[in-house]
Structure 1
Amino acid sequence: MSNGELDFGDPAAERKRRLAPPVVQPPAVPLAAAPLAARKAVGAAAGIAVHVAGLDWQAIADELNVHGYAILPGMLTADECAAMAAQYAQPQLFRSRVVMAQHGFGRGEYQYFRYPLPSTIAALRQALYGPLAAIANRWHELMELPARFPAEHNEFLARCHAAGQQRPTPLLLEYTAGDYNCLHQDLYGEHVFPLQAAVLLSQPGKDFEGGEFVLTEQRPRMQSRVEVVPLKRGDMVIFAVHQRPVQGTRGVYRVNLRHGVSRLRAGARHTLGIIFHDAT
């Protein structure tokens, strides 16, 4: 209204507004629930950080306490898995290559990445370390082990490097038909972070047959216990490197764990391994 008169606006402008298509805002995408969309929007490293922060870490801790491992489904997308596996053919990314049969480790081979790590691997290592450090500290407290782990991964790496453990340990493993990985522990030096992770980059039943991830647990005065861990492409398994605490009738005791891969019957299998301590 102006000077006591009613303002009906510009009829032509009003017709344009009625004819114009409505503006539809795209729905918000929850980052933790849709990692692919999130990583396209904010980049792989930031998307991984948000994805990891949104995980149910209490449930993960409970699984680790009961079984010694926990599965995190869909940590990497199919595209990310394919891109990661393709890096195996890029020797400039790696500091060394190990043929397992030459060392009695099994059959197959793997390569250790060099620094600087590829961005996705660096992001996973950084994002996972913080919540895992809280679990690791609780385990060491229960097992009455003296080492405690800082909240930030760079602080822990500084501790490793000061002790001469300066070589990066994330690795890619490659298996073909007939290959396997003997049961082992990834220790590498004085400073050992008690948890590590692996991501299956190939699709079981399509890319390969066999090749199951296996954990064994040796308890005092008891037979060893075996777990065959079911993984799909993109799934991550977090598991104990060496020891974990178990509640017994007389208190907490330590059990020793080893991990490996059963014989591949057909196809090819790639795996990303993430170890949080560096090597001598």
Structure 2
Amino acid sequence: MIPTTSPGRAADRVAATDWAALAAEIDAFGCAPTGQLLTPGECAAVAALYDEERYFRSTVDMARHRFGSGRYRYFREPFPELPAELREALYPRLLPIARDWAARLRRPAPWPDTLAEWLELCHEAGQTKPTPILLRYGPGDWNALHRDLYGDLVFPLQVVIGLDAAGADYTGGEFLLVEQRPRAQSRGTSLTLPQGHGLVFTTRDRPVPSARGWSAAPVRHGVSTVRTGRRHTLGLVFHDAA
């Protein structure tokens, strides 16, 4: 790992999160805030990585692919310390939620106890490309509603962390979540990410109560148009890409 700050502190903040309350909130809404995971200084250090080519395996121009407007960059391995530390610390906290959801939906739960074991399974299935990303939006940029699947093996939860101060560094750019409810109109959620705070949300779908017990409600996420300034976010997906 490439150092960007002193080790351990981000993982301690992950551990201090009330994960029981978070699990209840994500059950209710499909997403839930973690509280502060990074300090403003750490946020600035991560955002500054965007201009360092050596940390990334590829860059995606969203307008070119009709994904929206703006750019994001996929990290290459070895990851900078903070993204690596957060991903390692978050996986075991999210794992019980993932397994509970699989049980409700009567699906397999293929996720081992450690992130390293899970990524090894991804690699054996041909999903070998790292998926943590750093996103940068400027005025007029936005991200279309989508799901980050990347292959047959999918971890059902992911995390985004705001790196800039909403209202000061940028305006607009709300995180959007749209849930397609069984036999009903879709439900939308809009949130502003405080600097250094994380948001856990569902990758593909989530269990919702239905007349038959539990049904899978498909969920997509995106970002509304940034009006002014510059918005950076760190995206942590827990499965690799084919």
1:228 aligns with 190
Paired residues of 1:44 and 1:120 also in contact (CA < 8 A): no
Secondary structure at the aligned position of 1:103 is classed as coil
Paired residues of 1:185 and 1:242 also in contact (CA < 8 A): yes
Give a deviation string over 1:7-46, Cα, whole Å, max 9, x none: xxxxxxxxxxxxxxxxxxxxxxxxxxxxxxxxxxxx7432
Find the partner of 2:29 among 41, 62, 67. Answer: 67
Find the partner of 1:252 among 214, 226, 242. Answer: 214
Q: Are 2:110 and 1:148 aligned?
A: yes
1:77 aligns with 39
Instruction: Look up the equivalent residue of 1:193 and give its one-letter code.
Output: F
- Any unmatched runs of 5+ in structure 2? none
Q: Higher mean Cα deviation, 52-61 or 95-104?
A: 52-61
Q: Which runs of 4+ in 1 moved over 3 A?
A: none
Secondary structure at the aligned position of 1:221 is classed as coil
Find the partner of 1:204 among 166, 178, 195. Answer: 166
Q: Are 2:217 and 1:273 aligned?
A: no
User: What is the TM-score with the length of structure 1 in the denominator?
Assistant: 0.83
Paired residues of 1:210 and 1:262 also in contact (CA < 8 A): yes
Q: Taking CA–CA contacts closer than 8 Å with sequence separation of 6 or more, which of the two structures ends up with the larger relative contact order?
A: 2
Secondary structure at the aligned position of 2:196 is classed as coil
Instruction: Look up the equivalent residue of 1:198 and give its one-letter code.
Output: V
How far apart, in 2, do the equivalents of 1:48 and 1:234 lie? 10
Paired residues of 2:17 and 2:35 also in contact (CA < 8 A): no
Instruction: Look up the equivalent residue of 1:69 and give its one-letter code.
Output: C
- Within a 5 Å distance, the mapping from 1:1-280 to structure 2 comes to 44-280=6-242
Give a deviation string over 1:110-160, Cα, whole Å, max 9, x none: 000000011111110000000101110110110111233111100100100
User: What is the TM-score with the length of structure 2 in the denominator?
Assistant: 0.96
How far apart, in 2, do the equivalents of 1:196 and 1:45 lie? 22
> Which structure's CA Rg is the greater one?
1
Q: Quote the offset at 1:274 in angstroms.
A: 0.3
Give a deviation string over 1:40-75, Cα, whole Å, max 9, x none: xxx743222222222211111101111111101211
Q: Quote the offset at 1:263 in angstroms.
A: 0.5
Instruction: Look up the equivalent residue of 1:264 and give its one-letter code.
Output: V
Instruction: Decide which structure has greater helix share.
Output: 1
Q: Quote the offset at 1:249 in angstroms.
A: 4.1
How far apart, in 1, do the equivalents of 2:65 and 2:93 lie? 35
